[in-house]
């Protein structure tokens, strides 16, 4: 299959699956990051979630093909393009609305992806050589530990009646880094799968850390997404998750696999500016969703007798 078609197919399946995840999350009992076994059991018992998981796993299979044939500079803008149909789904199916700052953040993300596309040189697909397991572990462990810590210690406050609703930035970032880590492993997986299609190659892949890092990191990311979807708007959580994951994939993929970085000053500057715009877009998102905050009742003044 053509790598570009596989990338678009993976993107479509991923974000439709995320929309199904949102439906599943709204039907579940409250999920708590400091009760991880209970959260996992609740999620896995949901048939709606399992239906969405089938779609996401289909996207995973296509992403392995895409990352085996495309450079990250080409693949990342395609993956981020899935935010467009997800935005339409959020606006129409879930009735979500964006404020001016949030629309501006979306425009910055679109500009960042355009700059990445413009920074692509003429180099062909790169098949990375074998990566020592310790290097993959060194890249994978820090974001996974950070995400577990954020969920375990940062999700202790109960949903109070007067709590100020968060917009979902922390959930998106906490999920984005594990998912970006999973995609880093998928890149190595795709490179090995692209070398040959024999059964022996498949067995060789099972002897590498790629599939295991993919499963563990993706499972953690999906669990955080489900908790975020329960409390926040899907478009905010998914957008921040996407920016975090793809930025991590692009930068660390360059380090880990030797992905080509633009040699000329102009394209290299565009690539750096694109990452700066992506970070700025995340920082511009409001931290709280005050539209969901219950309005205080007017205080009645005691009448004088």
Residue 64 CA to residue 299 CA, distance in Å, equals 60
Residue 26 CA to residue 22 CA, distance in Å, equals 6
What does the pLDDT read at residue 237? 92
What does the pLDDT read at residue 298? 44
Q: Give the Cα-Cα-Cα angle 48, 53, 54 (nearest 5 degrees).
A: 100
**16, 210, 299 from 13: Cα distances, Å:** 5, 21, 51
Residue 122 CA to residue 127 CA, distance in Å, equals 15
Phi, psi of 162 (to 5 degrees): -105, 10
Residues of the chain whose pLDDT is less than 70?
Answer: 1, 121-130, 152-165, 167, 193-202, 290-305
Summarised one tens digit per residue, pLDDT across range 252-269 is: 888 888 777 777 888 889
Looking up tokens 């009646």 gives: 161
CB contact at 8 A, 14 and 56:
yes
CB contact at 8 A, 259 and 197:
no
CB contact at 8 A, 56 and 260:
no
CB contact at 8 A, 270 and 121:
no
What does the pLDDT read at residue 157? 52
pTM score, two decimals?
0.84
Task: Find, among 303, 198, 178, 194, the residue nearest to 248 by Cα.
Answer: 178
Residue 214 CA to residue 201 CA, distance in Å, equals 18
What does the pLDDT read at residue 121? 59
Percent of the chain whose predicted confidence (pLDDT) is above 70: 83
What does the pLDDT read at residue 190? 77
Summarised one tens digit per residue, pLDDT across range 112-166 is: 988 888 887 544 444 555 678 888 888 888 888 888 877 766 555 545 444 566 7
Residue 195 CA to residue 260 CA, distance in Å, equals 19
Residue 288 DSSP SS3:
strand
CB contact at 8 A, 226 and 238:
no
Distance of CA 178 to the CA centre of its chain: 8
Residue 99 CA to residue 236 CA, distance in Å, equals 11
Helix 83-92 and helix 3-26, axial crossing angle in degrees, nearest 10: 30
Please state, as a whole number, how many other Cβ atoms lie within 10 Å of the Cβ of residue 195.
11
Token pair, residue 257, equals 């696999």
What does the pLDDT read at residue 20? 94
């Amino acid at each position: 299959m053509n790598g570009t078609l596989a990338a678009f197919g993976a993107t479509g399946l991923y974000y439709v699956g995320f929309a199904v995840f949102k439906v599943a999350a709204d039907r579940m009992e409250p999920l708590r990051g400091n009760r991880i076994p209970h959260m996992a059991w609740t999620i896995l018992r949901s048939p709606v979630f399992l239906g969405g998981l089938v779609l996401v796993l289909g996207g995973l299979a296509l992403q392995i093909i895409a990352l085996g044939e495309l450079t990250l500079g080409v693949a990342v803008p395609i993956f981020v393009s899935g935010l467009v149909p997800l935005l339409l789904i959020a606006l129409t199916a879930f009735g979500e609305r964006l404020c001016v700052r949030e629309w501006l953040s979306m425009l910055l993300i679109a500009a960042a992806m355009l700059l990445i596309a413009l920074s692509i040189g003429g180099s062909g697909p790169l098949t990375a050589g074998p990566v020592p397991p310790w290097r993959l572990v060194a890249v994978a462990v820090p974001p996974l530990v950070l995400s577990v810590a954020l969920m375990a210690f940062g999700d202790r406050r109960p949903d109070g009646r007067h709590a100020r609703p968060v917009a979902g930035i922390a959930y998106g970032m906490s999920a984005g880094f594990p998912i970006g880590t999973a995609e880093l492993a998928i890149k190595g997986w795709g490179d090995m799968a692209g070398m040959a299609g024999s059964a022996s190659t498949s067995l060789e892949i099972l002897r590498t850390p790629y599939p295991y890092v993919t499963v563990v990191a993706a499972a953690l990311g999906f669990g955080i997404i489900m908790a975020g979807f329960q409390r926040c708007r899907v478009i905010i959580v998914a957008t921040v998750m996407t920016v975090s994951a793809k930025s991590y994939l692009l930068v660390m993929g360059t380090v880990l696999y030797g992905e080509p970085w633009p040699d000329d000053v102009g394209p290299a500057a565009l690539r750096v500016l694109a990452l700066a715009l992506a970070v700025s877009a995340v920082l511009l998102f409001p931290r709280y969703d005050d539209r969901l905050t219950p309005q205080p009742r007017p205080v009645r003044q005691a009448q004088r007798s």
